Amino acid sequence: MRQPTPEASRSVGHLPEGDASRRNVAQRQQRGWWYERMLLATTSFAIVILLVLLYNIVNDAFGGIAEQTAIDPVELTGGRAITELTDAELVTLLEDNLRSRVRRNLEREQPLSERTRDDLLAIIDRELIKREVVGVYTLTSYMFDRDRIAADLAENFPRATLSFKSWISPAFLSTPMSSEPSNAGIRTALLGSLWVLLLTVVIAFPLGIGAAIFLEEYERDLPFDERSSLGRALNRIYNRVNALIALNIYNLAGVPSIIYGILGLAVFVRAFEPFTSGAAFSGGDGTANGRTIISAAATMALLVLPVIIISSQEAIRAVPNSLRQASYGLGATKWQTIWRIVLPNALPGILTGTILAVSRAIGETAPLIVVGASTFIVSDPSGPFSKFTVLPIQIYNWTSRPQEEFRAIAAAAIIVLLVMLLSINAVAIIVRNYLRQRRVG
Amino acid sequence: MAASEPGMTGGSRAALDLRRKPRIGESIIQLLLFLSGFISIFTTLGIVWVLGQESLKFFADPKVNIGEFLTTTVWQPQIDAFGILPLINATLMVSIIAMLVAIPLGLGAAIYLSEYAAPRIRNTLKPIVELLAGVPTVVYGYFALTFVTPLLRSIFGSDTVSIYNDLAAGLVVGVLITPLIATLSEDALSAVPSGLRQASFGLGATRWETAVQVVLPAALSGVIAAFIVGMSRAVGETMIVALAAGASPNFTFNPFEPAETMTGHIARISGGDLSYNSIDYTSIFAIGLVLFMITLVLNYVSRLVVKRFREVYE
Give the CATH number for residue A368.
1.10.3720.10
How far A215 CA lies from chain B's nearest CA (Å)?
7
Sheet of A62-68, strands arranged across: A132-138, A62-68, A161-166
- CB spacing of B39 vs A399 below 8 angstroms: no
- pLDDT of A134: 79
Q: How far apart are CA A164 and CA A161, in angstroms?
A: 10
Considering the domain boundaries, does residue A4 fall inside one?
no
- pLDDT of B110: 94
How far B265 CA lies from chain A's nearest CA (Å)?
11
Query: Residue B276: closest CA among chain A residues belongs to which residue?
Result: A270
- pLDDT of A418: 93
- pLDDT of B290: 94
For A196-210, write each residue's pLDDT tens digit.
999 999 999 999 999
The residue-averaged pLDDT of A200-226 equals: 87
The single-letter DSSP state of residue A287 is S
The single-letter DSSP state of residue A390 is -
Number of helices and strands in chain A (H, E): 20, 3
Q: How far apart are CA B289 and CA B46, in angstroms?
A: 12
Query: Residue A401: closest CA among chain B residues belongs to which residue?
Result: B243
Which residue segment(s) compose the domain that A426 sits in? 187-440
CB A63 within 8 A of CB A408: yes
Report whether pLDDT(A65) > 80. yes
Reference A391, options A381, A405, A403; nearest CA is A381
- pLDDT of A440: 46
- pLDDT of B11: 44
ipTM confidence score: 0.88
Q: Among partner residues A206, A250, A263, which is closest to B50 by beta-carbon distance?
A: A263
Percent of chain B with pLDDT over 70: 93
- pLDDT of A285: 57
Q: Higher pLDDT residue, A205 or A284?
A: A205
Angle between helical axes of A293-317 and B24-60 (0-180°, round to 10): 130
- pLDDT of B10: 45
How far B145 CA lies from chain A's nearest CA (Å)?
8
- pLDDT of A284: 54
CB A118 within 8 A of CB A83: no
- CB spacing of B37 vs A215 below 8 angstroms: yes
Q: How far apart are CA B266 and CA A431, in angstroms?
A: 39
Tell me if residue A289 falls in helix, strand or coil: coil
Report whether pLDDT(A246) > 80. yes
Q: How far apart are CA B306 and CA B3, in angstroms?
A: 39
| Domain total in chain A | 1
Beta bridge partners of B232: none
On chain A, the residues whose CB falls within 8 A of the CB of B299 are 251, 254
- pLDDT of B270: 85
- CB spacing of B50 vs A56 below 8 angstroms: no
Q: Among partner residues B41, B50, B243, which is closest to A248 by beta-carbon distance?
A: B41
Q: How far apart are CA B210 and CA B111, in angstroms?
A: 11
- CB spacing of A256 vs B235 below 8 angstroms: yes
Instruction: Report the residue of B53, B138, B208, B293 to disrupt the A interface, i.e. the one with the largest count of A CBs within 10 Å.
Output: B138
How far B29 CA lies from chain A's nearest CA (Å)?
8
Report whether pLDDT(B31) > 60. yes
Which phi and psi angles does B76 have, rounded to 5°?
A: -140, 90
Tell me if residue A179 falls in helix, strand or coil: coil
Instruction: Report the residue of A24, A27, A42 to disrupt the B interface, i.e. the one with the largest count of B CBs within 10 Å.
Output: A42
Q: How far apart are CA B227 and CA B101, in angstroms?
A: 12
In one-letter notation, the amino acid at residue B221 is: S
Q: Higher pLDDT residue, A144 or B18?
A: A144
How far B80 CA lies from chain A's nearest CA (Å)?
22
For B241-271, write each residue's pLDDT tens digit.
999 988 888 888 888 988 999 999 999 888 7
Average pLDDT score, chain B: 87
Report whether pLDDT(A3) > 50. no
Q: How far apart are CA A202 and CA A237, in angstroms?
A: 31
The residue-averaged pLDDT of A255-263 equals: 93
How far A28 CA lies from chain B's nearest CA (Å)?
7
Considering the domain boundaries, does residue A263 fall inside one?
yes
Q: Among partner residues A25, A56, A214, which is closest to B37 by beta-carbon distance?
A: A214
Q: How would you label A47-73 residue by residue, b for 16+ Cβ within 10 Å and e otherwise?
A: eebbeebeebbbbbbbbbbbbbbeeeb
On chain A, the residues whose CB falls within 8 A of the CB of B232 are 254, 256
- pLDDT of A261: 93
Q: Higher pLDDT residue, A133 or B211?
A: B211
Q: Among partner residues B54, B112, B236, which is closest to A40 by beta-carbon distance?
A: B112
The residue-averaged pLDDT of A253-274 equals: 89
How far B68 CA lies from chain A's nearest CA (Å)?
24
Residue B99, CA atoms < 13 Å, CB-side half-sphere: 16
pTM over the 0.90 mark: no
On chain B, the residues whose CB falls within 8 A of the CB of A211 are 33, 36-37, 39-40
For A74-105, write each residue's pLDDT tens digit.
777 766 777 777 777 777 777 777 777 777 77
Q: Higher pLDDT residue, A71 or B192?
A: B192
Query: Residue B144: closest CA among chain A residues belongs to which residue?
Result: A53
Q: Among partner residues B33, B235, B243, which is closest to A213 by beta-carbon distance?
A: B33
On chain B, the residues whose CB falls within 8 A of the CB of A306 are 40
For B152-170, write each residue's pLDDT tens digit.
999 998 888 888 999 999 9
On chain A, the residues whose CB falls within 8 A of the CB of B276 are 270
Q: How far apart are CA B249 and CA B289, in angstroms?
A: 18
- CB spacing of B205 vs A249 below 8 angstroms: no
Question: Which of A284-288, A296-300, A311-315 comes out lowest in average pLDDT?
Answer: A284-288
The residue-averaged pLDDT of A399-410 equals: 87
The residue-averaged pLDDT of A117-137 equals: 77
- CB spacing of B5 vs A222 below 8 angstroms: yes
How far A151 CA lies from chain B's nearest CA (Å)?
24
- pLDDT of A1: 44
The residue-averaged pLDDT of B12-37 equals: 77
On chain B, the residues whose CB falls within 8 A of the CB of A215 are 37
The residue-averaged pLDDT of B286-304 equals: 91
For A170-190, write each residue's pLDDT tens digit.
888 888 877 777 778 888 889
- CB spacing of A370 vs B285 below 8 angstroms: no
Report whether pLDDT(B1) > 60. no
Report whether pLDDT(A114) > 70. yes
For the residues of chain B, what is the DSSP string, one character each?
-----TT---S-TTT---SPPP-HHHHHHHHHHHHHHHHHHHHHHHHHHHHHHHHHHHHHSTT--HHHHHH---EEGGGTEE--HHHHHHHHHHHHHHHHHHHHHHHHHHHIIIII--HHHHHHHHHHHHHHHHS-HHHHHHHIIIIIHHHHHHHH-TTTS-SS-HHHHHHHHHHHHHHHHHHHHHHHHHTS-HHHHHHHHHTT--HHHHIIIIIHHHTHHHHHHHHHHHHHHHHH--HHHHHHT-SS------TTS----HHHHHHHHHHS---TTSHHHHHHHHHHHHHHHHHHHHHHHHHHHHHHHPPP--
- pLDDT of B26: 84
Report whether pLDDT(B314) > 60. no
Report whether pLDDT(B288) > 90. yes
With cut-offs at 50, 70 and 90, classify the pLDDT of residue A213: very high
Number of residue pairs across A and B with CB atoms under 8 Å? 269
Considering the domain boundaries, does residue A276 fall inside one?
yes
Q: Higher pLDDT residue, A361 or A132?
A: A361
CB A315 within 8 A of CB A346: yes
Query: Residue A239: closest CA among chain B residues belongs to which residue?
Result: B34
How far B38 CA lies from chain A's nearest CA (Å)?
7
Considering the domain boundaries, does residue A241 fall inside one?
yes
Report whether pLDDT(A288) > 60. no
Q: How would you label A216-241 residue by residue, b for 16+ Cβ within 10 Å and e otherwise?
A: bbbeeebbbbeeeeebeebeeebeee
E strand intervals along A143-221: 161-166
- pLDDT of A12: 54
Report whether pLDDT(A230) > 50. yes
- CB spacing of B111 vs A39 below 8 angstroms: yes
Q: How far apart are CA B236 and CA B261, in angstroms?
A: 10
Average pLDDT score, chain A: 83
Report whether pLDDT(A352) > 70. yes
Question: Which of A225-234, B96-105, B216-225 comes out lowest in average pLDDT?
Answer: A225-234
- pLDDT of A127: 73
The residue-averaged pLDDT of B196-211 equals: 93
Q: Higher pLDDT residue, A117 or A314?
A: A314
Domains of chain B and any CATH numbers: 87-309 (1.10.3720.10)
CB B207 within 8 A of CB A40: no
Q: Among partner residues B112, B141, B238, which is closest to A257 by beta-carbon distance?
A: B238
With cut-offs at 50, 70 and 90, classify the pLDDT of residue A282: low
Q: Among partner residues A39, A222, A372, which is closest to B116 by beta-carbon distance?
A: A39
Q: How would you label B63-94 residue by residue, b for 16+ Cβ within 10 Å and e otherwise?
A: ebeeeebeebeebeeeeeebbbbbbbbbbbbb
Q: Among partner residues A57, A213, A258, which is closest to B267 by beta-carbon distance?
A: A258
The residue-averaged pLDDT of A60-80 equals: 77
- CB spacing of A218 vs B34 below 8 angstroms: yes
How far B289 CA lies from chain A's nearest CA (Å)?
9
Question: Which of A430-434, B168-172, B239-243 comes out lowest in average pLDDT?
Answer: A430-434
- CB spacing of A399 vs B142 below 8 angstroms: yes
The residue-averaged pLDDT of B119-133 equals: 86
Q: How far apart are CA A125 and CA A171, in angstroms?
A: 18
Q: Among partner residues A40, A227, A407, which is closest to B146 by beta-carbon distance?
A: A407
Sign of the four-CA dihedral A200, A201, A202, A203:
positive
Query: Residue B47: closest CA among chain A residues belongs to which residue?
Result: A263
Considering the domain boundaries, does residue A373 fall inside one?
yes
The residue-averaged pLDDT of B262-283 equals: 84
The residue-averaged pLDDT of A94-123 equals: 77
- CB spacing of B236 vs A302 below 8 angstroms: no
Report whether pLDDT(A17) > 60. yes
- pLDDT of B247: 83
Considering the domain boundaries, does residue A109 fall inside one?
no
Considering the domain boundaries, does residue A29 fall inside one?
no
Q: How far apart are CA B294 and CA B236, in angstroms?
A: 9
- pLDDT of B241: 93
Report whether pLDDT(B7) > 70. no
Reference A400, options B66, B212, B267; nearest CA is B267
For B32-84, write each residue's pLDDT tens digit.
988 888 888 889 999 999 999 999 989 888 888 888 888 888 888 888 888 88
Reference A436, options A370, A324, A351, A310; nearest CA is A351
Q: How far apart are CA A218 and CA A242, in angstroms?
A: 10
Report whether pLDDT(A430) > 90. no
* Residues in Cβ contact with A17 at an 8 Å cutoff, skipping those fewer than 6 apart: none
